[in-house]
Structure 1
Amino acid sequence: MKHLRKRVLVTGGAGFLGSHLCDRLVERGEDVLCVDNYFTGQKKNIEHLLGKPNFELLRHDITFPLYVEVDEIYNLACPASPIHYQFDPVQTTKTSVHGAINMLGLAKRTKAKIFQASTSEVYGDPTIHPQTEDYWGHVNPIGYRSCYDEGKRCAETLFFDYHRQHRLHIKVARIFNTYGPRMHPNDGRVISNFIVQAIRGEPITIYGNGGQTRSFCYVSDMIDAFFDLMATPEDITGPMNLGNPGEYSILELAQTILKMTCSPSEIVFKPLPPDDPLQRQPDISFAKKILEWKPKINLQEGLEKTIRYFQNGHLP
């Protein structure tokens, strides 16, 4: 029997990126199954969708198999900030590796197209700048960040082996820093950290001298790219860098947020944690060529929307 609507599974659907993806899928009229174990995802991120006839929520940990019927899978499940993924590093690795095996097995059985939310962290502390997809990375396999970095690298291996061995229809995206409303206020990420500290008038904590650089992509631009990549022909597998190539120093970001929030906060400097990348900037030539995609929202506009979200009662 042919289904009129696509049945789309989103793992990690109550998280930051996952909830925005669920919003857009529901708007498109797809039948959406949102799966989350609420380790970092929050039910409040998707509670506005609970009454929709084409939205379903399931509490489940993808390190255990899931038996459902689906046409597409977006595998976003995994804590993505150091504070959260280092809390239980063994579970973080299991989520990336066992979770990938379970979702790939589901895709194989249902013949579903499957999207893997990989990460710029597969490049580690890069020795080339900006990072291109053919760069293999510079990763410490036994460090504090390894549970996430190596877990995601292994997940990519599994996706490509399932593609070669079982002809699975895969899409692998390497996601660079993304921000916007519904960021977890306690996740330790630089934008949410700075905004929360600035609004509360607390010291802005910078690790290192603030000279390290990052690139920040607003969430709506990232979700656009997810859809564009998922719609590509079967021979386009990725991995594909997705992010905003605009590069800013951490000190520059802190000063911008202080100005935009009119905060009296002072900036304080603390030691840099081990294996923290000094530079992180995507080369998105591949995405521009294949998807004809590039970010539309500049940092100022995106920060305004994100600051407004935290000012409207979303502080921890």
Structure 2
Amino acid sequence: MGQVQMRPRGRRVGRRFLAIAALCTACESLFFYHLNHVLVSQQTASQREIQAAMHRRAQTEILQLKREYAGVTISPNGEYATYVTSDASGWDTVHVVQLDSGTQVSQATNLYPVQYVDWLGNAEVFVGEQRSPGNLELNTFYVSNGLQADETAASVPVFSNLAPDARIVKVTYSTETNDIFVLIDAGGSTAVYHVGTMETIQPVTVPPGYIKNIAMTQTGDNLYLEINQNGQWNVVRLYQTSQTSSYTAEFQMDWQTVKSNAALIGVVGNTLYYGTVNANGLVTAVYRQTSGGDELLRQLGQPALASEIAVSSTGSIALNPPALTNVEM
């Protein structure tokens, strides 16, 4: 009879032990993977809840400020808000508050009566002031400390010898060229001024008509106007050519009609946003102009004023936002 060779018992036990250990390790890995997934999910959910709570806090703060003050605007990043107060001596103050906490960050004091507030990025604020009837200035101050342009040895553009009721309506600028354009309403007519990098002020030759709004592309190539021409609101584009420049006595720009029966919503980067309007001048639909043509973004269920429509930095549309990034007072 042949002999049966028996495997050592210790070797069989060792292999079983290794198999059990491997199984335990796999189960342990799956358990910790599941636990980690749960913890990450909970952390993400908690972060969303925190962000939602902060957003609600910010919206509540904005609405409360609007009930109490004028000049309420929000910064492009949504972190800060402005509001304006006046003292018994007739001087105005622009306050900047942190929206998630409601605490004041800074303030610009001893200002002439404020007509207009806007944001220069997230770090500075434009302030349009009336030095006296017919004499306006475009001041700026730093959000971090409230220091104004004239306090930092920077010049402040002044617009003089205008009609007594002159007011700054809109300021737009290029982040790449630092060119600034200012729309002023005076005596029922409008004018656009160019403020150069050396703070030189030049009137801009514009088409005949009443200008309601202006917006500039980031690269400074195009300036868009919303203008009433013979009773019709149009969006017009102003642009420079090799024959037209800022070195002339008047800032020369050629122009063309971009859209008829339209309102200027805004410009994000180099992209134009406009609305088609009805017979009452109310926006019925919002479009974005792209290299491939005009893209319909939203058909409005109820016609609205162009001033009640905002475009975010990502190009999303908001109707009746709690506050806009610029306010004419």
Q: Same fold (TM over 0.5)?
A: no
Q: If you compute each CA radius of gyration, which structure gives the higher value, 1 or 2?
A: 2
Of structures 1 and 2, the one scoring higher in RCO (CA 8 A, sep 6+) is 1
Structure with a larger share of its residues in strand: 2
TM-score between the two structures when normalised by the length of structure 2: 0.29
Structure with a larger share of its residues in helix: 1
TM-score between the two structures when normalised by the length of structure 1: 0.30
